[in-house]
A = this chain, B = another copy of it.
Amino acid sequence: MTGRVAVTGGAGFIGSHIVDRLLSRGAEVVIVDNMSTGQPRFIEGALATGRATLVVADVKQLEPLVDAFAGCDAVYHLAANADVRHGPEHPRRDLDENTIGTFNVLEAMRRAGVGRVAFSSTGSVYGEAKVIPTPEDAPFPLQTSLYGASKLAGEGLIAAYAEAYGFTARIFRFVSILGERYSHGHVFDFYQRLLADPSSLTVLGDGKQRKSYLYIEDCVDAIELAMSDAQPRVAVYNLGQDHYCEVRDSIGWITAHLGLSPELKFGTGDRGWIGDNPFIFLDCGRMRGLGWQPRLSIRDSVIKTLEYLQANRWLLDAR
């Protein structure tokens, strides 16, 4: 996208990379972020271009979004509670920040006359998928987490808005994303805990959970490709790698890179937490059909993430 574009959650991990990419293409960018988990350092470079502005606003409030979106050609909606693990301790959080937040973004777009949206959904909407690798038209799933349920609700709202008001929408169901500015997830947690105690590492679940991951630049490539494509009104794309790893594999890469041999303490179940999905692996053939190809393997993405965290220890304290 070029022109004027708003990015909600634009100071966050994925959002700030999208901001940088849009700026590199010549767009003007309105960064909308409540700065609760967004980092000023992630958008320093963007703001220095003179073509990006920061609007500190929360998607839980409609009116400031209407103002922020004025004159925009598209909205990339990344702002969300991204913590899938602790949903049951805060049952209303995903509803407020993700479902109602997405409604507010759509309604503000409608009022501001913006009709093009990209949305960061999640592979968690497949629950415990019966078809693996899981395609976008997999059998109608049962939700297993409040996070997944809130993203499913967001997808539904977007498709209904597209039908009712003629929006064009691109919905992306991500696996976990890795890379520079990564600030939550298993690599972050393991690194943080190994810094505190290099001699042992406690793992949630039995470590045999199978997951796929994608490198942030590969993720942004896909989003930009899909947003520039002239396809029908609503299109849904899985975004992931064409391979997966076990949590134990990732632990091996991390400890080897750090030169550590901690005692590993595994849990007993095949799930790390309530609603954890022991096997996430998406069929990304639809996205590849547009000509997209990820460049970094899961292993290389894990190492790159680790190198970034080693060079940016401030981020460990910033949370």
Q: Which residues of A contact B (CB under 8 A)?
A: 87-88, 91-92, 95, 99-100, 103, 106-107, 110, 126-127, 136-146, 148-150, 152-153, 155-157, 159-161, 163-165, 234, 236, 274-275
Contact = CB atoms under 8 A, between A and B. Distances in A.
Contact of A140 (B136, B146, B164, B234): B136
A155 to B, nearest CB: 8
Scoring A138, A159, A161, A236 by chain B CB atoms within 10 A of each residue's CB, the highest score goes to A159
Contacts of A234: 142
Contacts of A159: 127, 142-144, 149
A156 B138 contact: no
B138 A140 contact: yes
A136 B126 CA distance: 15
A146 B142 contact: no
Contacts of A100: 95, 100
Contact of A146 (B136, B137, B157): B157
Contacts of A88: 164-165
Given A140-B141, A144-B159, A234-B142, A164 B92 contact: no
Given A127-B159, A148-B160, A156-B148, A139 B139 contact: yes
Nearest to A103: B95
Contact of A91 (B107, B137, B138, B140): B107
A19 to B, nearest CB: 28
Contacts of A146: 157, 160-161, 164
Contact of A152 (B110, B126, B144, B153): B153
Contacts of A138: 139-140
Contacts of A143: 155-157, 159-160, 163
27 contacts: A87-B160, A87-B164, A88-B164, A88-B165, A91-B107, A95-B99, A95-B100, A100-B100, A127-B159, A137-B139, A139-B140, A140-B140, A140-B141, A142-B236, A143-B156, A143-B159, A144-B160, A144-B163, A145-B163, A146-B161, A148-B156, A149-B153, A149-B156, A149-B159, A152-B156, A160-B275, A163-B274
